[in-house]
Amino acid sequence: MRIKLNPFFILFLFICGYIGFIEEAMIIFLSVILHELGHAIVAKKVKVRVDEIELFPFGGVARMEDISKFGGYTEAFIAVAGPLVSLFLYAVCIILAKLSVPAGLLTKYNFALFAFNILPALPLDGGRIIRNLLLFYLSYKQSTRIMVFAGQILAISIVMLNIKELMNGSNSLALMITGIFIFLGTLKEKKYCSYMYLLNRNNRKQQSIKNGRINIRNINVSKKTFISQIASSFSPASMCKINVVDSTGRIIKVLNEADIMDGLLKYGYDATVGDILR
């Protein structure tokens, strides 16, 4: 696992140093990296590979392998770890303050980091936690769309608030940059939610195959067969092996359900098996 400084974060540190706010910048750096390490440590504990931690001017992200294939609870545990670390640091700062140890800015920033990240909106940690609670009642795609909408409303609200402050004489663009990052994050969540759900379902089927708890069905198709027709034959109770045959009945390619679903997402419902094979 490596720690990566986003170019905007490096620029942020440089500007803070230039205007005399390097102490504040270091406190932000420390708070954010500990927050993201909380995610990373819990991910390691539940056997999820963590590749890197990237720090942005007003937050960070722990990049790891696709956690949707481990099930919703795993994602929720990892998501809640970061805010809990920030809350713990805030509590420690409160204790230090009672002992007359100056920690005002550290106290303020860690509380802000905790409170902001538990907001019920993607791509924030709170959005990921609520999404996994919604899975008890809704599909993964529906749950993601609700939290994405909440994230977009939050992002627009933050940008509008910054515009209002600029009109009132402020010269800070911090909120606007934060809002833009959140909005871009919602677009990414929306784009990949269907794929992540299907990948999760396919992974569970693969595990069931290893445990001998699911049947394998063979389906023979041609290059002209519609992908949507094949997908409609899938069942939670079985795993399909798709044999692509030529005019003589000879198998020229064997596809699995993940190949079909990837093709469906990439080429659409009117695509054929031939589009996947190209």
| Strand 50-56 with 2-5, pairing | parallel
Task: Name the 3-class secondary structure at 65.
Answer: coil
The tokens describing 172, both together, are 């800070």
Question: d(Cα 256, Cα 193) in Å, to the nearest integer?
Answer: 20
Nearest C-alpha neighbor of 105 from the set 9, 16, 21, 24: 24
Contact present, 55 and 6 (Cβ < 8 Å): yes
The answer, yes or no, to whether the previous bond of 123 is cis (omega within 30 of 0) is yes
52 assigned to active site: no
CA dist 225 and 248 (Å) reads 16
Closest CA to 33 of 49, 46, 12, 52: 52
Could you give phi then psi for residue 150, rounded to 5 degrees?
A: -60, -40
Residue 171: count other Cβ atoms within 10 Å of its Cβ: 6
Q: CB-hemisphere CA count at 13 Å for 44?
A: 11
Rounded Cα distance between 125 and 76, Å, is 8
Partner residues linked to 54 by β-bridges: 4, 61
Identify the active-site residue in 24, 36, 75, 257.
36
Among candidates 92, 93, 94, 67, which has minimal Cα distance to 78?
67
Catalytic annotation, residues: 36
